[in-house]
Amino acid sequence: VSSTEAPARNPKKLCLVVVDGMRPESLRQAIDKGAAPNFARLMREGYSSEECISVFPSLTPVATASIVTGRGPAEHGIPSMNWYKRDERRYVDYGISFPSARRSGVISVLKDLVYRINQEHLSASTPTFFESLEKAGVRCACTTYMIYRGPHEHEFAGAGIAGALAGVTGMARSGYGPTDLLYGDIFDSLGTECSSAFGVPGKRDQHAACAGIELVLAGNYEFMLLSFPDNDNFSHRNGPDSQHVSIAHADSQLRRVIDAAGGYRRFMEEHAVIVVSDHSHSLVTGVLDVVEMLTDLKWDVLRPRKGRRAHDAEIAVSPAARAANIYVLDPVHRGGRLPLLVEDLRHQEGIEQLFWLEDGVAWVAMGGSELSFSPGSQYVDQRGQEWDVQGDLVVLDLFVNGRAIRSEEYPDALARVWSALHCPGSGDLIATPELGLEFVDWGGFSHVGGGAHGSLHKVDSAAQLIVTGTGEDRKDQETWSIADVNSLVLEHFGISSER
């Protein structure tokens, strides 16, 4: 759908609240316990969806880039939480875990996470909403958020030991963001006293609230992105069933910002609010070591920090929670090695699905079954995209009714897989583990007993959306993707967007 007329500009400011990894079912529990009164009120006064579908892989960097640009990974260029960058012959890691960061190099991880994802990895041809809005004269503000790219230069703000250390390691660089950027201890355009305590999990929401309060008191922004990341870490450690605790915490931190504006009613007289989670969480009961699995199968796997000797190894492997990218290193051998990889992995215990491209067509295998698909005319999915599909529909739990095609278990499966496989940084093969399992990362780290995400499955992918005081014309929209948040934001300010 593309809107041709420019929508009317909503006179209110807009506050976009992102709660990392918030599971809709857990939000409902928190609300039922009376522990999330602000989210409850926003929901009551607006409209919401518990099936706002994440991208694939359903991982924060990929999802964040989609929220901010409105595009899938094929266009925005962020393939995963960690991936192999062919032109630099190295593993990129946005900080999947501390043990993994130690293997990749902590400084390199910090540079990837803070700077390179914004300045190098995110495609220059997909503008962020900060860029689109600032260009249209809308003043934007952002608290610590993985993707903040915008037109304004911000100097490194680090002080004390962290600042000195940053100077030595090359971390003290400029960032380019919206007019106001309050990012951890790194950028602070308002010169606040907010301390991020080095971004320790559990202390991040309070920093975001501190930054949000300062922004409300300064009163200059028209669009503010307020990001609450603690829920994701809490759920990773304690499991998705405990999320009502961290959701309650996010709700109370949002309340601090609301109170700075004079309470809920005053805040809502001035603001429209969108709340979104970037993905959901599933419970991890066991692990799968895909690197070990491939090594046992006699594949020569590239180890982290061995980039310059990449030609020695056959494949690179980037295990990221519930999705893994696998790269054939020598393009000359791709055609020969990819089928061998597929045959080796498809019957391995614990592997659920394999995804790859062959002759311009996407393939999905599950055990001995497989299907292939590509854009075409045979079927139309719930979001209006048309596809040709051949093979065993069970592989993606696809159901056909006339020309309509849909999947219950793997929502928006065809478009999400297609986009993932067309991201230039994706592996030649993407693998997902069965529900309940997680790939251990390069640091040997996993979340057994806790939560994880990344797969195409609904349990990892169905996120929460709440829209209050804006986007009235879209309240009957049948399906939602987290990428739709971009157009909701732009339309609020009277900017039409290609949906």
What is the contact surface with Zn ion in residues (CB under 5 A)? 232
**Cβ distance to Zn ion smaller for residue 241 or 386:** 241
Residue 496 identity: S
**Cβ distance to Zn ion smaller for residue 78 or 138:** 78
**Cβ distance to Zn ion smaller for residue 38 or 243:** 243
Cβ burial, residue 2 (10 Å; 0-12/13-18/19+): exposed
Closest-approach residue to Zn ion (CB)? 232
**Cβ distance to Zn ion smaller for residue 214 or 232:** 232
**Cβ distance to Zn ion smaller for residue 21 or 178:** 21
Quote the least distance from Cβ 145 to Zn ion, whole Å: 14
**Cβ distance to Zn ion smaller for residue 66 or 468:** 66
Q: Where do the H-state alpha helices sit in 105-188?
A: 106-111, 129-135, 160-169
**Cβ distance to Zn ion smaller for residue 23 or 85:** 23
**Cβ distance to Zn ion smaller for residue 67 or 257:** 67
Quote the least distance from Cβ 454 to Zn ion, whole Å: 8
Quote the least distance from Cβ 21 to Zn ion, whole Å: 5
Quote the least distance from Cβ 463 to Zn ion, whole Å: 12
- Count other C-beta atoms under 10 Å from residue 444's C-beta: 13
Report residue 231 as tokens: 């829920």
Q: How far is CA 221 from CA 110, 179, 209, in A?
A: 28, 8, 15
Three-state DSSP class for 153?
A: strand
Quote the least distance from Cβ 176 to Zn ion, whole Å: 26
Quote the least distance from Cβ 60 to Zn ion, whole Å: 6
Three-state DSSP class for 337?
A: helix
Quote the least distance from Cβ 450 to Zn ion, whole Å: 10
**Cβ distance to Zn ion smaller for residue 416 or 447:** 447
Quote the least distance from Cβ 203 to Zn ion, whole Å: 17
Quote the least distance from Cβ 482 to Zn ion, whole Å: 14
